[in-house]
Structures are given as C-alpha cells and as structure tokens.
Amino acid sequence: MLLEGFSTALQPVYLLYALGGVFVGTAVGVLPGIGPAMTVALLMPITYSLDPAAALIVFAGIYYGGMYGGSTTSILLNTPGESSSIVTALEGNKMAKAGRGAAALATAAIGSFVAGTIATVLLTFLAPVVAELAVGLGPVDYVALMVVAFLTVGALLGASVLRGLASLALGLFIGMIGIDDSTAQQRFTFDNPTLVDGIDMVLVAVGLFALGEALYVASKLRHGPVEVIPVSKGKNAWLSKEDWKRSWKPWLRGTFIGFPIGTVPAGGADVSTFLSYAAERKLAKGPNKAQFGKGAIEGVAGPEAANNAAAAGVLVPLLTLGIPTTATAAMMLTAFQRYQIQPGPLLFENQGALVWTLIASLYVGNLMLLVLNLPLVGLWVKILQIPRPYLYSGILVFAALGAFSVNFAAADVGILLVVGILGYFMRRYGYPVAPMVVAMILGPMFEVQLRRSLQLSQNDPTALFSSPFAVVVYASMALIFVGSWWLRRRQSALEAAPVKEELSV
C-alpha cells in the first residue's frame, strides 16, 4: 500500500510539487510572526486548482516546511511566535549569538529529518492499526474523545483557563452558524444569505492568525532596522564531530518523547518540546550541563526532534479519528475537506490511495527539507530581513487574497476583517486563538455525535458513560489534568532554578 503511495509521490511532477511545497512552506514559515498553522492557512489558495493527490503532497511539504521555518526564525531572531519554538530559542539563539548559528540550524535540520522520518515510519504502522480499532467506536466514544480534545486545547494550554474556554466557546458558536447538520434547520443566520452556508474555516483561521497578527503588530510596531544574527560561514561553523556525538542521542530521545505525545488525541503537542528540553538538561553531564542556558546543542537537537515527531504523531488522531488536536492539524483537516476527503476510521478503506500518497509524501517532504534547508540558509536570512512595513503589508494582501478566493466573494473579505479585528483584541487581552480554531472545526462533529448518542439512548444522559472505552477516556482526562498541574509546578520550579543557583554561589 505504501509502495503504491510512493509510486505516485515519486512521479517527477509530484516530486516537483513536493519541492515547491517544502520551499514555499519554509519561506512563509520563516517570516516572523507566522506560525505553522498560519502558513497552512495562508497557502491554501495555491492548491485550489490542483488535483487531490498533488494538493496533499503540497500540504505535506508546507506542513513540515512551516514547522522548520519557525525554528529558523527562533534561532536567528529569538522572540519566537509560536509556543513550539520557544524552547528552540532558549539555546538556539544563544548558540547563534556565540557564532554557532550554522551548527544550531544544522542540528535542528538533521534532527527534524531524523525525527520526522522515524515518526513517519511509526505513523505508517500505527495509523492503520488505530483506524481498525476506531471502526468499533460508537458515538458515545467519540463524544468522550472530543470532550478531552476540547478541554485540553481550551483549558490546559493557555495561561488563563477562562480565556481559553472563552475562545473555545466562541469557536463553537461560530461553528453553529449556518445549517444544522442533523435537521437542516438554519441557526443564527438571521436570513442572511452569506451566513446560510456557514462561515468558512479559512476565513476564520486567516482572519485570526494573519490579519489579527498584522493588526496587532501594526499597533505597536517596533521601528528601525531588523537585527538578525549573522550566520557565520566556514569550517568551524558546521557540525563538528563533537556536535554529532552530542546531538544524536537527543534526536532519538526527542523523537520518542514527541511521537507518543502527538499521537494522544488531546491537545498539547507543544508540551513535548518542553519535556525534551527538561530531559536533555537533566541528562547532560559535566561541562555540557554547564552550557545549558548559554547555548547547549542538546537543547536545540532534542526539542526540535520532539517537535517534528509530535507533528507526525498529530496526524494519527487526525487521519484515523478525524480529530485535530492543534491549530495546524485543524487547518490540515480543512484542507482535506475541501477535497472531500473525510478523515476517520474509514479513510484508509475508502481513500486508501490518497492517504498512502500523503504518507509517502511525508517521507519525501522530510528528505527535501533536509536537502533544501542547509544550502538555503542565506536565503532565509534575507527573508528575515524584509523591512517590516512591506512584510506586514504583504501579509495583509495575502490574507485578503486567501479570503477572496474561498468563494470569490468580496463579502468574505468583510468577514475576514471582522474576524481579524476580533483576533487583534484577543491578542491584546491575552486570549489564545488556537482553541477557537480547533473548536470551530470540531464543534459540528461533536454535536452530531452527541445527538446521535442521546438519540440511541432515548435522551438518557448517563448513556454517555455507558461504554467502557468512554469511561477509560474520561479517567485518563482526569489523570492528564492532574499530570499537567504537576508538570506546571515542575516547570515553574525549573524556571526558578537558575535564580536559586545564583543565590547559592
């Protein structure tokens, strides 16, 4: 099956698409302030006219490219835009400042490749198994899984639980606008023809991510030249034998931390980078340990690998259950749906050829990422130096293009603007936007499953706890919450640790 996928993905035209996807994905992902989710959202129009296989191949490239682009930004600029890059910036930026930027980028690129490849192999074997198991799940079980996804994405991940839940609820609300899936009744449309079809996911995502971010930055733009740390060239800049020796174990450890965490159908793929960083820091010995906080290569290698492995892991619940657990995955799901590809347990049976093409192109994309990124570092640095007025004006134009090309209606750009203004205020007052995006796409599915389960049980709510699987899921959710509380305490202890060390000296 996978071989068939490869035979499609390796056709010269499709290889070119993969290359293009990785290149554009990285180039856009490198842009400051643009995370992977926004990269996928912004680049959606370029696939509108492609056939499904080509579009999936491009998306696989964009997915990994956007991810890698983000880490380049955080190594060379510090101040990362998305939480998954924060950890990379900790050590990576210090390395760059010490003139070891090329080594940091190289260990990130190779680590991403190693982790991405291993994780894709794991995905290849795991996804069909999970899909087979998932065929046996009933609506009650889906309700349980989605409750967990909602609560983890909304309440667990932001700094403020209430703001996360508010974002979540607003996403659920927007998801309800339009025609009710079960009864075909109009809801919250106020007889407005633009609203009857519902609000398109692309408009909300591009509005929140791109327009909201552009407005937010514009309101407090830092004027003056952009400071990008130059990447030193020459023999010493590249990975030394010592660097390889110090990197390979963190790559592998990061992979095996990241993949399982990504696979769990709950939000929190970002946690893997923190865990990997903490693990590397703990495991480092002697002089290497002292380097942490000053540019330790393990602190780049591990989290980068974990990040990429988690990104591949996230595809397991996405493809087999149809449940996106990150904003980026929600965007991928939106892209799939445009091509009438409905992820879920039956995906591997119904559209096997396409799925295997997608998985094969993940391998290809990963390899291309490695081939492309090391020689093109100079280009990425140039992209980082684009004068900010042009950069944000360009983002506005691209966002408007993306919104207009959804239905070729100028009114959609109006919706984009409204959502963008909302996104601005959400940023200003510290509301996370990711829960809204995930809720908007998951909400309608959740409602269908909820109503189905209640209908089967003649509206007896205790039926929601009737299946053993659901009970296990709810119990693990309780465990996750206790665990996260413990982790949070540990993390704040970790952050406080350097201060204590200084005090004791």
Partner 1 sequence: MSVQVSTPAKRPTGEILFALVFVSVGAAGLLAAGSIPIPPSETGIGPRAFPYIVCSMLVLVGTGIVAQVFRGKVGHAEESEDLDVTAKTDWLALAKLVGFVVLHIFLIEPAGWPVAAAVLFSGAAWTLEARPLWKAVIISVLLALVLQYVFGGLLGVSLPPGPLLEGVPFLHG
Question: Considering beta carbons, is residue 2 or 46 the nearer one to partner 1?
Answer: 46
Query: Which of positions 444-473 make contact with partner 1 (CB under 8 A)?
Result: 447, 450-452, 454-455, 459
Residue from 54, 141, 432, 438 touching partner 1 (CB under 8 A): that is 432
353 lies in the site for partner 1, by CB under 8 A: no
Closest contact distance (angstroms) between CB of 247 and partner 1 is 26
Query: By CB under 8 A, is residue 87 in contact with partner 1?
Result: no
Q: Which one of residues 3, 12, 136, 220 is an interface residue with partner 1 (CB under 8 A)?
A: 220
Binding residue for partner 1 (CB under 8 A) from 4, 7, 16, 48? 48
Binding partner 1 (rule: CB under 8 A), the pick from 192, 236, 350, 393 is 393
User: Based on CB atoms, which residue is closest to partner 1, 109 or 217?
Assistant: 217
Q: How far is the CB of 228 from partner 1 (least distance, A)?
A: 11
Instruction: Quickly list DSSP for 280-316.
Output: HHHH--HHHHHHTTS--THHHHHHHHHHHHHHHHHHH
Nearer to partner 1, 222 or 241 (CB): 222
CA-based max dimension of the chain: 72
- Contact region for partner 1 (CB under 8 A) — 53-61, 82-90, 118-126, 234-242? 82-90
Residue 13 found at the interface with partner 1 (CB under 8 A): no
* Residue 137 and residue 320 in contact, taking contact as beta carbons nearer than 8 Å: no
Helix (H, G, I), strand (E, B) or coil at 374: coil
> Residues 81, 70: contact at Cβ < 8 Å?
yes
Exposed/middle/buried for residue 63 (C-beta within 10 Å: 0-12, 13-18, 19+)? buried
What does residue 233 show for φ and ψ, rounded to 5 degrees?
Answer: -105, 175
- Does 341 interact with partner 1 (rule: CB under 8 A)? no
Min separation Cβ 408 and partner 1, Å: 6
Q: Which of 6, 173, 256, 469 binds partner 1 (CB under 8 A)?
A: 173
* Options 3-11, 57-65, 138-146, 220-228: segment touching partner 1 (CB under 8 A): 220-228
Give the span between the Cα atoms of 467 and 462, in whole angstroms: 10
Which residue from 218, 237, 379, 445 is in contact with partner 1, where contact means CB under 8 A? 218
Q: What angle do CA 159, 165, 166 make, to 5 degrees?
A: 105
Options 178, 424, 473, 477; binder of partner 1; rule CB under 8 A: 424
Match 């400042």 to its residue by tokens.
Answer: 97
What backbone phi and psi angles, to 5 degrees, belong to 35? -85, 180
Q: Tell me the C-alpha distance between 106 and 108, whole Å.
A: 5
User: Which residue is associated with the tokens 């203004």?
Assistant: 421
- Tell me if 66 contacts partner 1 by CB under 8 A: no
CB 374 within 8 A of CB 106: yes
390 binds partner 1 (CB under 8 A): yes
Q: By CB under 8 A, which span of 119-127, 136-144, 155-163, 278-286 interacts with partner 1?
A: 155-163
Could you say whether residue 274 binds partner 1 (CB under 8 A)? no
CB of residue 98 to partner 1, shortest distance in Å: 21
Please give the torsion angle defined by the CA atoms of residues 355, 356, 360 and 365, in that order, rounded to the nearest 10 degrees.
Answer: -10
Contact (Cβ atoms closer than 8 angstroms) between residue 166 and residue 431: yes
Rounded distance, CA 189 to CA 201, Å?
Answer: 16
Exactly one of 362, 433, 442, 463 binds partner 1 (CB under 8 A); that residue is 433
Q: Which helix (H) or strand (E) holds 75?
A: helix 52-77
Give the nearer residue to partner 1 in terms of CB position, either 394 or 483. Answer: 394
- Write the burial class of residue 466 (CB in 10 Å: 0-12 exposed, 13-18 middle, 19+ buried): middle
Among 29, 36, 52, 80, interactor with partner 1 by CB under 8 A: 80
Minimum distance from CB of 30 to partner 1 (Å)?
11
Is residue 159 involved in binding partner 1 (CB under 8 A)? yes
Residue 275 is a binding residue for partner 1 (CB under 8 A) = no
If the CB atoms of residues 216 and 380 are measured against partner 1, the closer one turns out to be: 216
Which of 289, 344, 290 has the alpha carbon at shortest distance from 127? 344
Q: How far is CA 149 from CA 166, 269, 332, 443, in A?
A: 15, 12, 16, 11
Instruction: Give the footprint of partner 1 on residues 185-214 (CB under 8 A).
Output: 185-188, 190, 211, 213-214
Report how many residues bind partner 1 under the rule CB under 8 A: 92
Amino acid at 180: D
Angle at 269 between CA 15 and CA 307, to 5 degrees: 50
Cβ neighbors of 234 (< 8 A, separation 6 or more) are none
Site for partner 1 contains 425 (CB under 8 A):
yes
Q: Which residues ranging from 395 to 414 are in contact with partner 1 (CB under 8 A)? A: 396-397, 400-401, 404-405, 408, 410-411, 413-414
Residue (157 or 252) nearer to partner 1, CB: 157
What interhelical angle do 388-407 and 410-428 show, nearest 10?
A: 130
Task: Work out whether 386 is an interface residue with partner 1 (CB under 8 A).
Answer: no
Per-residue binder mask for partner 1 (CB under 8 A), 96-135, x = binder: ----------------------------------------
Cβ neighbours of residue 488 closer than 8 Å, sequence gap 6 or more: none
Q: In this chain, which stretch among 107-115, 166-174, 287-295, 306-314 interacts with partner 1, using CB under 8 A?
A: 166-174
Binding mask 484-503 for partner 1 (x = CB under 8 A): --------------------
